[in-house]
Amino acid sequence: MIVQQLINGITQGSIFALLAISFAVIYGVLRLVNFATGATYMMGAFAGWLTVRYISQNIFLAMLAGLCTGWSIGFLIEKVAIKSLRGVARIASLICTIGFSIFMIEIATVIFGAETKAMPSFFNEKAFTLGGATVVWYQLFLIGTAVTILLLLQILIFKTKAGLAIRTVSLDFKTAGLMGINVDRTISLAFSLGGATAGIAGVLGSVYYNIVNPTMGNLQGLKSFSAAVFGGLTSIPGAILGGYLLAIVENFGVQIVSGGYRDIIGFVILVGFLLFRPRGLLGKKTSL
Amino acid sequence: MSKVLRAILLLAVVLGVVSNGYAAGKQEKAKTDEPVYIALTAPITGDYAEYGNNFKRSVEMAIDKINASGGVLGRKLAVLVGDSKGDPKESATLAQKWTSDPKIVAQIGDFTSTCCLAAQPIYDQAGMVQLSPTASHTKFAQGSKWSFSIVGTQAGEQPFIADYAYNKLGFRKIAVIHINNDWGVDTARYFTDNFKKLGGTITAIENYFDGEKDFTAILTKLRASNPDALFMAAMYNDGASISNQRAKLGWNLPVVGPSSLYSEQLLKLGGDSVNNLYTVVSFFADDPKPEIRAYVTEFEKRYGLKPNFHAALAYDAMMLLADAMKRAGSFDRDKIREALQATKDFPGLAGSITFTEKGDAIKQYTRVMVKNNKFELFDKR
Amino acid sequence: MFFQMRKVRKTFGGLVAVNDVDLDVQQGTIHAVIGPNGAGKTTLFNCITGLRRADAGEILFEGENITDLPTHRIAAKGIGRTFQNIRLFPYLSVLDNVKVGTHLLNPTTLWDTALKSSRFRKLEKEVEDLCMELLHQTGLSEKKDQYARNLPYGEQRKLEIARALASKPKLLLLDEPAAGMNPAETAELDDFIRSLKAKGITILLIEHDMKLVMSIADTISVIDYGVKIAEGSASEIQSNERVIEAYLGKRRN
Ligand SMILES: Nc1ncnc2c1ncn2[C@@H]1O[C@H](COP(=O)(O)OP(=O)(O)OP(=O)(O)O)[C@@H](O)[C@H]1O
Ligand SMILES: [Mg+2]
């Protein structure tokens, strides 16, 4: 049972970690919480759903669709909420991301209807049992994919030129500009990357839970935000750690205390860290 | 400066698009020749949006039908739809809006018991009928003489289900999962009390909050209590998710639950994982009765989907309200309430309706089960 | 003309920090800007590099108007700078700090990186070599993997210069590079700046260390209260009365 809870936690944590990274990449470069992350997750899920429903029952194609959708949404949010509002109080951009979130949920409701849709399972056969815990192949697939994406992002940010640009903008965008880095383009890239990560997470999550609906990203987005704060909003490794830890803590919280307390656990962590250690477990004061 | 302006404009556009969708619908109707207005409060957006939209569909369909046959007392009916988003605060705000508008004669809604209870004092003070199709919390109808519910209470339904589980299905040990809101707590309590009264054992109880999508932790915990069956006090969407995740965990056992699980959506979303699920209904869409066939066919034609229990209840609510207005011979808020209270054997799609003194409907139930991904009558086996 | 400023003006509220300044810089020279504290020298640099927008006037570089370009475009034209109060990226390694400077030279895209194209490998190698060479020149190669924030002050100054040079600028702006250096280090700096000139880099230098300025500057401009009050060779400036007055008559610090 302990093993099962751990596996449940790691699976759920993979989704949290992807979304937490989406928050962290964007917060890193702009010190802005993108509250449209949950809605982007939802839109990614719908893109995946449309793909398997109308094009091909292929999860990889669905993930590609989620990625592209998320990427475009991130790009668009940056153009509207950030670029056109440059120089206005930060709060305007923040509110604008909330507006985007509402807007996307409404659009999805209008286009697809409020009814929950069924997302088919993939690789749903039992892979193995371990200490009484059942693991299906899809869980391994989900965890593996998430870890791969997280590693790729890690490489992108810490080993490439574009990543160096993102890190410098995150540390000091003015100086970065003076060094010849195109700050606008870098911010735009960070938003697209964050969006793409959320979009893929949407597909992975919807296949795991077998459902797609316009509000599926709300709680997911909120919890991942907690996870990101938990690990350190300004640290990519921190966000990953936060995602996994939050899910594992929640799952064991359910086991030890009760299901009714699971959200409370998440939000106590959020408030606790915001109050006493705002930079989270791994966040440095000013680093991505 | 111009940037600030741009920010404001942008927000206005975003919010405008969002709210316009609803405003447009309203204004259109307000133009017709002095109709009689009914307010509908329902979660049109948010987590419960699909239930709210079913309300809207059914009520609009009922009104069209009533108007096509000459309206009520020579006047056409029209509905004003308010979106409570499943949020009790919104529901209460809408109640304020409806009751202060003299054009509105009665209100249908809201969907959840929690929302209905939050709005109740406002309808009670202002004196307007609050007719909920679905609020099944025992405290609701008895809370005010203006409050009525036609779904039947959990106090009526759960003894029937407990008997089904214990005597008909032979379960002795049951684990319970319920949503943590007024309805879920009430449902779980009435079920466990009645099941224990019959001699059964409740092995474990767990709850979850609105919007939760991951049930694996709770299910893993419940599984360890080793029950014969799982009782699931959930709406059909959550019910399907819970079943899917249960199957992924490799945990196969029969499931019992309240009538809120009865929906084609449960089958669509849950797939094979919802086979071997037992529930009761007072509306069965595959019922061969002509009035039910007529309703189902029309609903499918208009909206492209099969109506469920909640949709049928909303239809009943509107038809019942029109009937009460006819019997009252007036659109006076008070008179409508009196006529509604006097309802006896009104032939609804979801069973005939007679109100108790407190305003609850007494229902009849039919046992059903899911087999080969279809709802079937249990007793026909 | 290589670099020109025409009636550049910058105000902060009521304070005129840069007051209709004209400045011509000849290619291949070392041009110093001196003046008392608060005279407006750094603000002048900020206007040139786009960190602050001039309120009026224009700035021409190689005949092109760069007054209103964004900072990264100005950098791309070939203007690099260091800062009076050091602005390194504290949580990047020493090597990464220099690499940031090469950003402009390195046209590889994400695709190149993903595909590890031969172009990418070649450019990557060039960048790496350039950075290491600059670190050697500045004596920082041993510390290339440390966080920049952990370097002592003098070395942070050197790193800033290395970073600025990494973009292979044609015009290099140095804002008080000798601040906080001991005489031995300053002498080293003197040589180093000369070596840059020898490589053909034009240098615009703000410096309070008069010994250094008089020794290396080809031309000196003096600014006081935002106004350019004198310009000329070291000897001309040393004997200019307005300059003496500005420095001695009403020293403000
Ligand atoms: N952002 C700002 N807001 C308001 N005033 C400013 C700002 N930046 C500089 N100033 C003022 O403008 C004037 C010129 O400042 P600047 O930093 O350019 O002087 P400086 O010549 O570089 O002096 P120092 O030799 O001390 O570095 C000073 O009076 C300073 O207080
Ligand atoms: Mg200065």
C113 and A178 within 8 Å at the Cβ level: the answer is: no
Q: What's the mean pLDDT in C218-232?
A: 93
Confidence grade of residue B52 (pLDDT, cut at 50, 70, 90): very high
**Where a domain ends, among B237, B258, B281?**
B281
Range in B20-34, B362-376, C85-99 with the lowest mean pLDDT = B20-34
Q: Are residues B126 and B112 in the same domain?
A: yes
d(CA C92, CA C97): 6
Select from A209, A278, A233 the least CA-distant residue to A49. Answer: A209
Considering only CB atoms, which residues of chain A are within 8 Å of chain C? 156, 160-162, 164-165, 167-168, 171-172, 174-184, 284, 286-287
Same domain, B164 and B273: yes
Q: Does residue B295 fall inside a structural domain?
A: yes
The answer to whether residue B70 sits within a structural domain is: yes
Q: Which domains does chain C have, with CATH numbers?
A: 1-78+169-253 (3.40.50.300), 87-167 (no CATH)
Cα-based distances in Å from C248 to B29, B282, B353, C18, C223:
85, 101, 103, 21, 14
Mean pLDDT throughout B318-338? 94
* Whether the predicted pLDDT of A152 surpasses 50: yes
Kindly provide the ipTM of the predicted complex, given to two decimals. Answer: 0.84
Q: What is the pLDDT of residues B257-283, one digit of tens each?
A: 999 898 888 998 999 999 999 999 889
Contact predicate B287/B78, CB 8 Å: no
Q: Is B191 part of any domain?
A: yes
Give the pLDDT score at B12: 45
Distance CA B358, CA B52 (A): 25
Residue B327, number of CB atoms within 10 A of its CB: 16
pLDDT (0 to 100) of residue A253: 86
pLDDT, mean of residues B42-53:
86
Question: In this model, does residue B20 exceed pLDDT 50?
Answer: no
The answer to the question of residue B331 being in a domain is yes
Q: Is the pLDDT of residue B11 over 60?
A: no
Q: At B47, is the pLDDT very low, low, confident or very high (cuts 50, 70, 90)?
A: confident
Residue nearest to atom 25 of ligand 1 (CA): C37
B344 and B241 in a single domain? The answer is: no
Structure tokens at C89: 């990226």
Q: How far is the CA of C242 from the centre of ligand 2 (A)?
A: 21
For C98-125, the pLDDT digits (tens) are: 999 888 777 766 666 666 777 777 888 8
What pLDDT sits at residue B223?
Answer: 93
Which has the closest alpha carbon to C155: C140, C168, C137?
A: C140
Mean pLDDT of the region B52-57: 93
Instruction: Pick the range with the lowest mean pLDDT from B26-40, B259-273, C155-169.
Output: B26-40
* Residue A285 confidence (pLDDT): 54
pLDDT of amino acid B16: 44
CB pairs under 8 A between A and C: 76
Q: Report the C-alpha gap between C145 and C133 in whole angstroms.
A: 15
Which token pair is A39?
Answer: 């809605």
Decide which of B281, B303, B321 is a domain's last residue.
B281
Please give, rounded to a whole number of angstroms, the shortest distance from the CA of A155 to a CA of chain C: 10
Residue B26 confidence (pLDDT) above 60 = no
Cα-based distances in Å from B90 to A109, B51, B95, C35: 19, 16, 9, 66
All chains having 3 or more CB pairs closer than 8 angstroms to chain A: B, C
pLDDT digits (tens, 9 = 90+) for B359-372: 888 888 889 999 99
User: Cα dist. B91→B30, B111, B145 in Å?
Assistant: 22, 10, 19
The whole-angstrom distance between A3's CA and the closest CA on chain C is: 37
Regarding whether B159 and B138 lie in a shared domain, the answer is no
CA distance C75 to chain A (A): 5
Q: Is residue B257 located within the same domain as residue B323?
A: no
Same domain, B168 and B272: yes
Cα–Cα dist B102/B37, whole Å? 9
Average of per-residue pLDDT across C81-92:
91
Of B234, B256, B281, which marks where a domain is finished? B281
Of all atoms in ligand 1, which is nearest to the CA of residue C40?
18
Same domain, B89 and B128: yes
Name the residue with tokens 């259109």. Answer: B28
Residue with tokens 């880099």: C201
Q: Write out the H or E segment, with its range, that includes residue C175.
A: strand C171-175
pLDDT at A117: 87
For A8-34, give the DSSP string. Answer: HHHHHHHHHHHHHHHHHHHHHHHS---
- What is the rounded average pLDDT of the residues B125-154? 91
Report whether B235 contacts B214 (CB < 8 A). no
Chain centre distance of CA B312:
9
Q: Flag whether pLDDT at B21 surpasses 50.
A: no
Determine, yes or no, domain membership for B367: no
Q: Domain check: are B141 and B98 in the same one?
A: yes
CATH of domain A2-287: 1.10.3470
The pLDDT, as a whole number, for residue B100 is: 92
Cβ pair A110:B265 closer than 8 A: no
Average pLDDT over residues A136-163: 90
pLDDT of B164: 95
Strand ranges (E), chain B: 36-42, 77-83, 104-109, 130-132, 147-149, 173-179, 201-208, 229-233, 255-256, 277-281, 346-348, 351-353, 366-371, 374-377
C132-149 residue pLDDT tens:
999 998 889 899 899 999
Residue B134 sits in a domain whose CATH number is 3.40.50.2300
pLDDT confidence tier of residue A284, bands split at 50, 70 and 90: low
- Residue A52: pLDDT above 80? yes
Q: Is there a contact between A36 and A104 (Cβ–Cβ < 8 Å)?
A: yes
Any CB–CB contact under 8 A between B31 and chain A?
no
Those chains having 3 or more beta-carbon pairs within 8 angstroms of chain C are A
Q: Does ligand 1 lie within 6 Å of residue C40's CB atom? A: yes
State the pLDDT confidence band at B6, using cuts at 50, 70 and 90: low
Evaluate if residue B323 carries a pLDDT over 50.
Answer: yes
- What domain range includes position B271? 154-281
Q: Is the CB of C42 under 6 A from ligand 1?
A: yes
Residue whose tokens read 């936060």: A242
CA of A238 to the centre of ligand 1 (A): 39
Question: Under an 8 A CB cutoff, do B6 and A87 touch?
Answer: no
Domain membership flag for residue B12: no
Instruction: State the distance from the centre of ligand 1 to the C-alpha of C33, rounded, in angstroms.
Output: 14
| Paired tokens of A32 | 């802005």
On the question of pLDDT at B27 being above 60, the answer is no
In angstroms, rounded to a whole number, what is the distance separating the alpha carbons of residues C97 and C156? 11
User: Per the domain annotation, does B314 fall within a domain?
Assistant: yes
B191-245 pLDDT, tens digit per residue, is 999 999 999 999 999 999 888 889 999 999 999 999 999 999 999 899 999 999 9
**B15 vs A: CB within 8 A:** yes
Q: Are B46 and B86 in contact (CB under 8 A)?
A: yes
State pLDDT tens for residues A4-25.
Answer: 889 989 999 999 999 999 999 9
B9 pLDDT above the threshold of 80: no
pLDDT of B84-104, one tens digit each? 988 999 999 999 999 999 999
Residue in B46, B53, B265 nearest the CB of A215: B46
pLDDT of B13 > 50? The answer is no
CB-CB under 8 Å, A179 with C50: no
B29 pLDDT tier (thresholds 50, 70, 90): very low
For residue B148, the model assigns a pLDDT of: 94
User: Is A29 a residue whose pLDDT tops 60?
Assistant: yes
Asked whether residue A136 carries a pLDDT value surpassing 70, the answer given is yes
Domain residue extents for chain A: 2-287
Determine the average pLDDT of the residues in C179-203: 91
Residue C40 corresponds to which tokens in the numbers above? 């407006």
With a cut of 50, say whether residue B293 has pLDDT above it: yes
Same domain for B141 and B160, yes or no, is no
Number of domains chain B is built from: 2
On whether the CB atoms of residues C71 and C121 are closer than 8 A, the answer is no
With tokens 């809201």, the residue in question is B110
Q: What is the mean pLDDT of chain B?
A: 88
The answer to whether residue B6 sits within a structural domain is no
Residues B219 and B277 grouped into a single domain: yes
Atom 6, ligand 1: which residue's CA is nearest?
C12
Whether the per-residue pLDDT at B25 is higher than 90: the answer is no
* pLDDT tens-digit map of A65-114: 999 999 999 999 999 888 887 767 778 888 999 999 999 999 998 898 87
Q: Do B182 and B268 belong together in one domain?
A: yes
Which of A21, A3, A8, A41 lies closest to A143, judged by CA? A8
List chains adjacent to chain B, taking adjacency as at least 3 C-beta pairs closer than 8 Å. Answer: A
Residue B82 and residue B38 in one domain: yes
